Amino acid sequence: MAYSGRFTPGDRVQLTDAKRRHFTITLQEGESFFTHKGEIKHDDIIGEHEGTVVKSSGAGEYLCFRHLLVDHVLSMPRGAAVIYPKDAAQILVEGDIFPGATVLEAGAGSGAMSMWLLRAVGEKGKLISYEIRQDHLEYAEKNVSEHMGGHPENWDLRLGDLKEATKEDIGEVDRVLLDMLEPWEMLDTVKDVLLPGGVFMTYVATVPQLMKVMEGIRETKAFTEPKAWESLVREWKVDGLATRPEHRMNAHTAFLIWARRLADGTVAPRPQRRARR
């Protein structure tokens, strides 16, 4: 699928009607899409610019744009819950995922975060993704391959338990991201494979998980003092004097935990609180 330019066969196009309902089609010459307002011919879209309007046979009007990655993530089939865009953005920035990086991910889930990581590391980078469940691995494989036009050559998708993996299996990596039920059980593996200075991030949903991961990181004495946070996103309705926050918001989805790998043998200074005046 092209990322810009005029629409071509094979592009995934999101059609939006006047009520902001979305319909996704993959353009094919000679094909049609049928709505409650009649037929939309693919040939009426192919060759047109993005941001144009196509009319159905029943006089319905639909705005046409290519499917963005965020659209694909939110609409694709899921075996496991996905990391939502607001958290994926935090991971990419706070984790400093750079072009050419080697990243270890576990678990792959439905492949949402895998796609963001693959885009960030680029063709010269590498992503190693572990998934313990066969059905989840199949969802990840299908979703990533569908969006990226096949299985990326720099994506090493593995069925297995990261806890049983060794440094010989993985090698050294620049970044580690864990999204699993019991990430504290993987800390020894993370310590072995993450390069000094490398960033380690964990994504957990509950307070007990948060507490166990934070204490586990501290007990290894191989990382900087971990920090944790959550991101909340609230949209606003802007309509003259009716401007106000939307009633619904993307509140808690998960906690993000961040730490960096110390060099072997290094003892970090103990965190100290500021003296009270």
Separation CA 45–CA 34 (nearest Å):
14
What string of DSSP letters covers 168-182? HHH--EEEEEE-SS-
Helix residue spans in 95-166 (DSSP H): 112-121, 134-148
By CB atoms closer than 10 A (0-12, 13-18, 19+), residue 198 is buried
Separation CA 86–CA 231 (nearest Å):
7
Residue 104 zone, left/alpha/beta (φ > 0; ψ -120 to 50; rest):
beta
Beta strands 227-229 and 194-204, pairing class: unpaired
What 3-state class would DSSP assign to 104? Answer: strand
Q: Which residues are annotated as a binding site for S-adenosyl-L-methionine?
A: 131, 136, 161, 179
Separation CA 37–CA 162 (nearest Å):
50
Q: Which residues are annotated as a binding site?
A: 131, 136, 161, 179
DSSP state of 203: E
What 3-state class would DSSP assign to 13? Answer: strand
* Backbone angles phi and psi of 153, in degrees to 5: -65, -25
Cβ pair 38, 57 in contact under 8 A: yes
